[in-house]
Amino acid sequence: MTERIEGVVLTLICTLVLASYGRAQKINGGGNTNVPGQLPSIHLVSPEPDGQWTLPAGDYANTRYSPLNQINTQNVKNLKMVGSMSTGIARGHEGQPLVVNGTMYVITPFPNNLIALDLSKPGFPMKWKYEPHPDPRSQGVACCDVVNRGASYADGKIVYATLDNHIVAVDANTGKEVWRTLVGDIHIGETTTGAPLIVRNIVITGDAGGELGVRGKVVGLDLKTGKEIWRAYSTGPDKDVLIGPDFKPFYPKDQGKDLGVTTWPPDGWKLGGGTVWGWISYDPETDLIFYGTGNPGVWNPDMRPGDNKWGITIFARKPETGEAKWAFQVVPHDAWDYDEIMENIAVDMDWHGKMRKLLIHPGRSGFVFVLDRETGELLSAEKFQPVNWAKAYDLKTGMPEVDPAKVTHTGVIAREVCPSSTGGKEFVPSALSPRTGLLYIPAHNTCMDHEGIDANYIAGTPYLGSSTTMYPGPGGYQGELVAWDVANAKQVWGVKDPDLPVYSGVLATGGDVVFYGTMEGWFRALDAHTGAILWQMKLGSGIVGDPITFKGPDGQQYVAVYSGVGGWMGAAAQPSISLADPYAALGITGAMKKIKQLTAPGGTLYVFGL
């Protein structure tokens, strides 16, 4: 379990400088048949609202693509900062702001303040600030920094989570609280860090805390009142998981009664993890939500024989009832902490000569998974970073071909396992451009030595069962922005970072520009077709947030991003974390040796325009 990350509130705004291409390297991989001006056969199932950013990913499908094109490959070199605001909180600034009707809404890390900025006035002054005052004890049980991944807007309300498991709805015009609902319990180690998704009149949210023996779940709340409508657990009997007669998994491995109990040792499912702290997407065409569950608890696989369903599983559910339609367990009996809470991107596209309704999942396990989102059939699974825990996936069975030498056991060290528990990518989201047919993946290249150890459960304390150390992976780099050809399941180009993982979300635009940030603090604009770095600026702290773009009240296009290093890997930048301790922060310090040389804690919103 991570060391307590005690915050020292700093305000750090460094001088912004336009710089050369720095340490990034562009690597041409070739193979992309989509050329500028030639659109691939991709249909977005839920396009972004005109010029706004009202949902965590900008749209229901989690594409993080905006058709705005005023900022393009020809003029992006002229970008300049047009506004900034310090939050005064020097912790991990994950997630993204919202933009609705000329107002920007910023959600901070703990204490989870909501700040409204007036985009119609110079400097974007504050309109109001809502302070929810969450229970400070929640900071002590937060696994991986006191972060927040954003909000959703609907029906005049900004809806988001506080660290102490409250979902709050705030009047978007006045900043007054409309309702507040408690959905979890900090006393058992449960926190809420993910961004809720609003589908029609239902607010959908999950939980965090898998390293403390928390039982994962997703909850549906009434948008008008905040009243709980349904609750679907990730483990336990079918009635708890909301599995009924309409549940039709594609593969036999996922078929059977009460698998959330029978694939565990007695009562193991009650402490089973499978938390849902990542991204939720929705497809209006099938009327299904999609999300992934986290690792089963504990990390030591010997303590939980069986497939451990439904940990590390992609679920499809009905949004109004929570009823499960299908499920695909990505990694049965996980031995590596490969949470698969990553984004699931819903698109219709030409797949081997036939239009298919696809779900694209760039996984923590190091594979890009492509599934049929109507049935859960696995259509493709290919590696996008160095991977040796499994050789490949069998598409007929949906099972990975695991290398037994990379599986830890009690008292047995599995060495040089790639990727590490931080994955081929983390929760930080990819972007998909329908103009290029490319998926832009913020990737990691770290490996680990991993030993299972005994663990005892005490409510609200670490329940880990692992001794893990991490270090840079092969190839002389630790991070990469990967352009992935979805149709042909291969990398086209990549921009590598030798020193730190890429821990920022990605934005793709109609101007054929891709935006992302580095943990060192560079905010970059790349040519979406070639990967050429067209512009970059050094911000005040490492970037672990997700860029957005929007049209201001003046009709001009802008780009915004948070700067504030943190999260699991970024926590190593905090003064309280000793990089000399190889087991600190769940073992990530060995992979982050240079972070304190390259960045420092901060917390600032930046807005850029032409």
Res. 3: pLDDT tops 50 = no
Q: Per-residue pLDDT averaged across 580-609, rounded?
A: 90
The model's pLDDT over 417-431, given as tens digits with 9 standing for 90+, comes to 999 999 999 999 999
Q: What is the pLDDT of residue 49?
A: 62
Q: Are strands 506-509 and 65-66 parallel, antiparallel or unpaired?
A: parallel
Establish if 141 belongs to a structural domain.
Answer: no
Establish if 136 belongs to a structural domain.
Answer: no
Structure tokens at 237: 């009997």
Establish if 422 belongs to a structural domain.
Answer: yes
The model's pLDDT over 9-40, given as tens digits with 9 standing for 90+, comes to 222 223 222 232 233 333 333 333 344 444 46
Establish if 4 belongs to a structural domain.
Answer: no
The model's pLDDT over 255-276, given as tens digits with 9 standing for 90+, comes to 999 999 999 999 999 999 999 9
The model's pLDDT over 449-466, given as tens digits with 9 standing for 90+, comes to 999 999 999 999 999 999
Q: What is the pLDDT of residue 32?
A: 36
Establish if 133 belongs to a structural domain.
Answer: no
Establish if 2 belongs to a structural domain.
Answer: no
Q: What is the pLDDT of residue 204?
A: 98
Structure tokens at 547: 């860029």
CATH number, domain of 67, equals 2.140.10.10
pTM above 0.85? Answer: yes
Q: What is the pLDDT of residue 40?
A: 61
Q: Per-residue pLDDT averaged across 77-98, rounded?
A: 96
Q: Per-residue pLDDT averaged across 197-203, rounded?
A: 96
Contact 521, 93 (CB under 8 A): no
Establish if 135 belongs to a structural domain.
Answer: no
Res. 278: pLDDT tops 70 = yes
Domain that residue 585 falls in: 17-124+146-609
- Domain total of the chain: 1
Establish if 276 belongs to a structural domain.
Answer: yes
In 3D, which of 416, 548, 530 has the Cα closest to residue 55? 548
In 3D, which of 382, 452, 390, 454 has the Cα closest to residue 417? 390
Catalytic residues: 211, 295, 337
Q: What is the pLDDT of residue 36?
A: 42
Q: What is the pLDDT of residue 588?
A: 87
In 3D, which of 425, 420, 419 has the Cα closest to residue 443? 425
Beta-bridge partner residues of 495 = 26, 481
Question: Could you tell me the pLDDT band of residue 144, with boundaries at 50, 70 and 90?
Answer: confident
Question: Could you tell me the pLDDT band of residue 223, with boundaries at 50, 70 and 90?
Answer: very high
Question: 9 or 283, which is more confident?
Answer: 283
Q: What is the pLDDT of residue 20?
A: 29
